[in-house]
């Protein structure tokens, strides 16, 4: 990282919004001076000019000087990332089992699955109709490295059908994995890529086929050469992108790995945007797992046609009203994610974020199945939230949303990448530069949401247990309430020790009658969660809304405009 | 109200525009595996010109090939009256119309065929720009007004205003036989029952500001039934200009459509557009005009006065805001000034 000039912008161009930040060196240390966000599609330079102007008005001394005057902001470097629009694949396999394995890898690499072809579910007519569908980027044929007898018998006919499909769709490239490559004879070689077989055992760890798919998505995005259109299908605003901002999700992953090394902690990070959601797990030793999922977008495109998906979002909402009207409101959130962000709109958005986190967590656990690293179940030291999904929610409510959905027993700190700076920092090529900037900026770019202690298995009785918080020589003792969330005021910057004492024991990854956990403060304070794991919400809408509202009330204080 | 140049610049920098008219839009007509194009690239078409033959009852049929016979290429046209020559002195005949799918390794030739082809016509004048196995694309020689979503079949007709105002609703009772052949402008909302009546009365299409998703679902199901029928009936299209739920048509669009009443127009499904003739008069809104696209004031319009201090929402979360002079309502003598989130506005000019 160059030291001159000493100010630079970060830009995170998402599918629905663009976040910009101004960072400058102040007394030898990089600091976040200003940040803002705006809907995608608006020009970026005026946003940067406003950031520079605001800082120039308030603290002109913080900005770099050239010839006795503040240097022009247009000269300051930009660290820029852009979120690629998800690519769409048609999957084919000779058996349903192989198709499922293939889908897990493909969807975990951030691809949208446009259709599935297998001898058991599609005839030649349906398969050809799927291949003629619009918006397809790739046909992927999955087969094991050493196919089973059933697969070997079905592959020749499937290969003949798909070869014919490729003769009709001359614009469609094809990825043949595993033994499917044996069928390559007679196929249009210029459009064929060979890849490894999908892994039979799901794992969060880097996978060769997933890595290949990520590279393929990047290559297709470069060929398309366009900025992501608005997520609204009818409102494609095709703003041309500058030649090569780094991929936002890959950069976010790199930033989390660097952050884990800087803090020496196990870090779990979630990034929920309008086009996809992502989860990253990193330890000081390196990246442990990563999953990018189109279905974990704030409001997935399938919501436009699927009432159950809309209802799954509304199940997290405290909004009252006609179900059909609320479903329409969820669908409008998909069309215009930046609109209707005040009042009830903010609550609906956080409900959608919760549902997205649930989908992400479900896929995360599935992807971790049998991997042997138990990554999905181990609690992290720090849970980081990022993405436009959280942009208009109060910090304490974000903490609760994380705790509601990513439930692991134990204690952890919660933080929020409020200025969306992590991904741009992750785009730096040099690991040393990344770590140095993260070290400087840590306190500025990660808003401390608070700490959470999730202790399950507390039995209802007259005195189920006691919670003691010791901080700065003071002690606070409160009675534990089973099946509740209790908020203890612990401001940002303060640290303390939490002691849980339960008469019949409680579960924080291990059953114990007395447990002590170190915690840090935050805007949401300390959240002690004795609710069940997994969290089960009442079936009846009224009871569910009342319960959600009761949990949320202490953490979502409405201010007058 | 005169908006200063600085205010106009701020408006361009801060508020997303509503998509405006598109010149010579490219319309796509997707093809199924058995469908057969009736046009060639570069061909000129007019409203009513046949574009392709749709085979709504397509199914897979297969015939046996002998060892060593060269199967026809995938996509080869199949016609029951014209046998497929596959070797010297040997030909195969499928009992229907459609296209070859593929030949299996076990020497079976499979084709997608049906017996009741329907001709799909162009709703617009223009030039065929692309004919591929997946679609026919036509460059329309007109102007396209973008919508948010469309459903049904591309259709053309004369434009007719059928609702009392941009925030009104289309009543079923206002549709009669005189509406046959028309594309109706329906105001802020239309329900499934009214859409059914419109189709039954021979209406060719409906343009509406908003549509409840349950009505859209019902309409799509009804469309699927129509298409599966042997005689699909006249094409009927639905164009939603704004989004889901009840949403008024922007006043400027309403006024322009009212001025064009009686003119021939078409609805494109892919992309969702209203296609007007190239010489259609379309007045642009004056500069500084904005529309409120979300929230309690949805559909109200006004003049952007400039940026304002941010609005504080939940627990201090700030939203960038702007000052808007709202147009006076009927019972008001003058407009009122409001500070509104910039993200909820759309620029009209």
Give contacts of A 80-109 with B, CB under 8 A: none
A342 and B28 within 8 Å at the Cβ level: the answer is no
Task: Please give the tally of structural domains in chain B.
Answer: 3
Angle at B265 between CA B263 and CA B267, to 5 degrees: 160
- B196 and B337 housed in the same domain: no
Last residue of a domain, one of B242, B277, B312: B277
A331 and B33 within 8 Å at the Cβ level: the answer is no
Query: Which residues is A507 bridged to in the sheet?
Result: A456, A511
- Counting residues of chain B whose pLDDT is more than 70, the rounded percentage is 96
Give the CATH number for residue B26: 3.50.30.10
- B248 and B230 housed in the same domain: yes
- Residue A234's pLDDT is 33
Helix, strand or coil, per DSSP, at residue B349: coil
DSSP state of A518: E
Interface test with A, best of B27, B101, B223 (most A CBs within 10 A): B101
pLDDT in tens, B249-276: 999 999 999 999 999 999 999 999 999 9
B90 versus B282: which is more confidently predicted? B282
Give contacts of A 291-310 with B, CB under 8 A: 304-305, 307
pLDDT in tens, B91-119: 889 999 999 999 999 999 999 999 989 99
- B158 and B236 housed in the same domain: yes
A346 and B75 within 8 Å at the Cβ level: the answer is no
CB within 8 A of A485, min separation 6: which ones? A400, A403, A527, A528, A529, A530, A531, A551
- B269 and B296 housed in the same domain: no
A4 in B contact zone (CB under 8 Å): no
| pTM, entire model | 0.92
A324 in B contact zone (CB under 8 Å): yes
Determine whether A510 is exposed, middle or buried from the number of CB atoms within 10 Å of its CB (0-12, 13-18, 19+): exposed
Give contacts of B 152-191 with A, CB under 8 A: none
- B226 and B258 housed in the same domain: yes
Last residue of a domain, one of B262, B277, B292: B277
Nearest to A340 among B110, B148, B295 (CB): B295
- Residue B314's pLDDT is 61
Q: B339 in a domain, yes or no?
A: yes
Average pLDDT over residues B206-232: 88
Average pLDDT over residues B125-150: 96
CA-based nearest distance B110→chain A, Å: 8
Q: What's the domain range around B78? A: 58-115
- B26 and B169 housed in the same domain: yes
Give contacts of B 5-64 with A, CB under 8 A: 12-16, 19, 28, 30-34, 58-60
Most confident of A202-211, B63-72, B124-133: B124-133
A124 and B101 within 8 Å at the Cβ level: the answer is yes
**pLDDT tens, position by position, for chain A (561 residues)?**
444 458 999 999 999 999 999 999 998 899 999 999 999 999 999 999 999 999 999 988 888 887 777 788 999 999 999 998 899 999 999 999 999 999 999 999 999 999 999 999 999 999 999 999 989 999 999 999 888 889 999 999 999 999 999 999 999 999 999 999 887 788 888 899 999 998 866 677 778 899 999 989 988 887 776 444 333 333 333 333 445 789 999 999 999 999 999 999 999 999 999 999 999 999 999 999 999 999 999 999 999 999 999 999 999 999 999 999 999 999 999 999 999 988 889 999 999 999 999 999 999 888 776 444 555 667 799 999 999 999 989 999 999 999 999 988 888 999 999 999 999 999 999 999 999 999 999 999 999 999 999 887 777 776 778 888 988 888 888 888 888 899 999 999 899 898 888 777 666 666 777 888 888 999 999 999 989 888 989 999 999 999 999 999 988 876 543
- Residue A443's pLDDT is 94
B311 and A342 within 8 Å at the Cβ level: the answer is yes
B297 in A contact zone (CB under 8 Å): no
DSSP state of A72: P
Q: B44 in a domain, yes or no?
A: no
A517 versus B166: which is more confidently predicted? B166
Contact yes or no for B113/B93 (Cβ under 8 A)? no
Neighbours of A100 (CB within 10 A): 15
- Residue A62's pLDDT is 87
- Residue B91's pLDDT is 85
CB within 8 A of A149, min separation 6: which ones? none
- The rounded distance, in Å, linking the Cα atoms of A59 and A22 is 13
Q: B203 in a domain, yes or no?
A: yes
- Residue A472's pLDDT is 82
Element at A136 (helix H, strand E): none
pLDDT in tens, B225-256: 887 776 667 899 999 999 999 999 999 999 99
Neighbours of B4 (CB within 10 A): 11
- The rounded distance, in Å, linking the Cα atoms of B131 and B305 is 49
- B13 and B26 housed in the same domain: no
Give the residue carrying structure tokens 């479900």. A362
- Counting residues of chain B whose pLDDT is more than 90, the rounded percentage is 76
- B303 and B199 housed in the same domain: no
- B237 and B322 housed in the same domain: no
Q: B197 in a domain, yes or no?
A: yes
**Ordered structural domains, chain A, with CATH:** 7-82 (3.30.420), 88-224 (3.40.50.2300), 250-449+527-555 (no CATH)
- B110 and B89 housed in the same domain: yes
A322 in B contact zone (CB under 8 Å): no
> What is the pLDDT of chain B when averaged over all its residues?
92
A157 in B contact zone (CB under 8 Å): yes
- B173 and B189 housed in the same domain: yes
Cα B203 to Cα A120, B221, B229: the distances in Å are 42, 18, 19
- Residue B315's pLDDT is 61
Last residue of a domain, one of B277, B299, B331: B277
Average pLDDT over residues B204-208: 97
- B319 and B215 housed in the same domain: no
**Chain B residues in contact with A346 (beta carbon < 8 A):** 313-314, 317
Give contacts of A 327-386 with B, CB under 8 A: 327-329, 331-332, 335-336, 338-343, 345-347
A97 backbone φψ class: left, alpha, beta (φ>0; ψ -120 to 50): alpha
Nearest to A393 among B31, B34, B317 (CB): B317
B245 and A329 within 8 Å at the Cβ level: the answer is yes
Q: B50 in a domain, yes or no?
A: no
DSSP state of B173: G
B313 and A128 within 8 Å at the Cβ level: the answer is no
B108 in A contact zone (CB under 8 Å): no
Nearest to A160 among B19, B60, B104 (CB): B104
A156 in B contact zone (CB under 8 Å): yes
B102 and A329 within 8 Å at the Cβ level: the answer is no
CB within 8 A of A363, min separation 6: which ones? A107, A108, A291, A293, A295, A296
Q: B138 in a domain, yes or no?
A: no
Q: B134 in a domain, yes or no?
A: no
């Amino acid at each position: 990282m160059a030291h001159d000039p000493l100010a630079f912008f970060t830009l995170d161009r998402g599918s629905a919004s663009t976040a910009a930040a101004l960072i400058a060196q102040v007394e030898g240390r990089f600091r976040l001076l200003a940040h803002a966000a705006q809907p995608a599609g608006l020009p970026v330079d005026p946003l940067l000019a406003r950031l520079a102007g605001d800082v120039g008005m308030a603290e002109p001394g913080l900005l770099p000087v050239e010839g006795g005057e503040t240097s022009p902001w247009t000269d300051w470097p930009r660290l820029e990332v852009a979120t690629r629009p998800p690519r769409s694949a048609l999957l084919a396999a000779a058996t349903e089992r192989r198709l499922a394995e293939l889908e897990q890898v493909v969807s975990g690499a951030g691809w949208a699955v446009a259709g599935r072809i297998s001898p058991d579910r599609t005839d030649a007519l349906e398969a050809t109709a799927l291949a003629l569908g619009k918006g397809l980027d790739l046909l992927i044929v999955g087969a094991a490295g050493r196919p089973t007898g059933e697969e070997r018998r079905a592959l020749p006919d499937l290969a003949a059908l798909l070869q014919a499909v490729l003769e009709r769709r001359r614009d469609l490239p094809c990825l043949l994995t595993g033994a499917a490559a044996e069928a390559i004879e007679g196929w249009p070689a210029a459009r064929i890529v060979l890849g490894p077989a999908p892994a039979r055992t799901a794992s969060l760890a880097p996978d060769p086929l997933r890595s290949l798919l990520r590279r393929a998505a990047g290559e297709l995005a470069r060929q398309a050469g366009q900025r992501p259109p608005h997520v609204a299908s009818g409102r494609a605003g095709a703003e041309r992108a500058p030649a090569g901002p780094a991929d936002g999700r890959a950069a976010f992953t790199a930033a989390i790995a660097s952050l884990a090394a800087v803090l020496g902690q196990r870090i779990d990070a979630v990034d929920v945007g309008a086009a996809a959601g992502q989860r990253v797990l990193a330890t000081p030793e390196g990246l442990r797992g990563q999953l990018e999922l189109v279905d974990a977008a704030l409001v997935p495109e399938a919501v436009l046609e699927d009432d159950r998906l809309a209802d799954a979002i509304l199940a997290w909402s405290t909004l009252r009203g006609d179900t059909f009207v609320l479903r329409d409101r969820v669908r409008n959130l998909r069309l215009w994610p930046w609109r209707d962000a005040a009042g009830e709109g903010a609550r609906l958005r956080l409900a959608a974020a919760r549902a997205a986190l649930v989908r992400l967590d479900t896929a995360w656990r599935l992807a971790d199945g049998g991997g042997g690293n138990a990554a999905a179940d181990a609690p992290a030291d720090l849970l980081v939230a990022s993405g436009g999904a959280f942009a208009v929610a109060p910090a304490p409510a974000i903490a609760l949303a994380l705790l509601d959905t990513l439930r692991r027993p134990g204690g952890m700190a919660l933080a929020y990448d409020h200025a969306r700076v992590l991904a741009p920092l992750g785009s730096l090529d040099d690991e040393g530069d990344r770590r140095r900037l993260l070290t400087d900026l840590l306190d500025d770019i990660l808003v401390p949401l608070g700490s959470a202690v999730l202790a399950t298995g507390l039995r209802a009785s007259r005195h189920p247990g006691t919670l003691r918080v010791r901080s700065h020589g003071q002690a606070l003792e409160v009675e534990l309430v089973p099946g509740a969330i209790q908020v203890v005021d612990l401001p940002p910057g303060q640290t303390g020790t939490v002691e849980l004492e339960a008469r019949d024991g409680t579960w924080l990854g291990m059953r114990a009658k007395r447990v002590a956990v170190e915690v840090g403060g935050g805007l949401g304070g300390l959240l002690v969660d004795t609710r069940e794991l997994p969290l089960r919400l009442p079936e009846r809408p009224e009871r569910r809304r009342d319960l959600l509202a009761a949990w949320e009330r202490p953490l979502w204080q409405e201010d007058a405009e | 109200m005169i908006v200063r140049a600085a205010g106009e610049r701020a408006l361009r920098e801060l508020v997303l525009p509503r998509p405006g008219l598109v010149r010579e839009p490219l319309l796509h007509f997707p093809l199924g595996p058995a469908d057969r194009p009736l046009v060639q690239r570069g061909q000129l078409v007019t409203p009513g010109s046949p574009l392709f033959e749709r085979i709504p009852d397509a199914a897979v049929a297969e015939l046996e090939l002998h060892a060593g016979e060269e199967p026809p290429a995938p996509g080869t046209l199949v016609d029951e009256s014209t046998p497929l020559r596959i070797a010297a002195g040997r030909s195969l005949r499928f009992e229907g119309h459609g296209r070859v799918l593929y030949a299996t390794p076990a020497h079976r030739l499979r084709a997608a065929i049906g017996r009741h082809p329907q001709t799909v016509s162009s709703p617009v004048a223009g030039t065929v720009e692309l004919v591929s196995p997946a679609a026919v694309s036509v460059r329309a020689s007109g102007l396209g007004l973008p919508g948010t979503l469309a459903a049904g079949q591309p259709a053309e007709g004369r434009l007719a205003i059928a609702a009392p105002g941009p925030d009104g609703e289309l009543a079923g009772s206002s549709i009669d036989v005189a509406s046959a052949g028309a594309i109706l402008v329906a105001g802020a909302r239309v329900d499934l029952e009214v859409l059914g009546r419109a189709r039954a009365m021979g209406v060719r299409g409906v343009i509406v500001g908003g549509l409840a998703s349950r009505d859209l679902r019902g309409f799509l199901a009804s469309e699927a039934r129509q298409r599966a029928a042997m005689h699909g009936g006249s094409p009927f299209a639905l164009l939603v200009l704004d989004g889901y739920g009840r949403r008024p048509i922007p006043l400027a669009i309403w006024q322009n459509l009212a001025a064009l009443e009686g003119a021939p127009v078409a609805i494109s499904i892919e992309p969702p557009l209203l296609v007007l003739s190239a010489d259609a008069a379309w007045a642009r809104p004056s500069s500084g005009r904005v529309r409120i696209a979300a929230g309690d004031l949805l559909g109200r319009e006004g003049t952007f006065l400039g940026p304002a201090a941010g609005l504080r929402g939940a627990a201090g979360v700030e939203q960038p805001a702007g000052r808007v002079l709202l147009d006076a309502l009927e019972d008001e003598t003058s407009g009122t000034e409001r500070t509104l989130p910039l993200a909820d506005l759309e620029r009209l000019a």
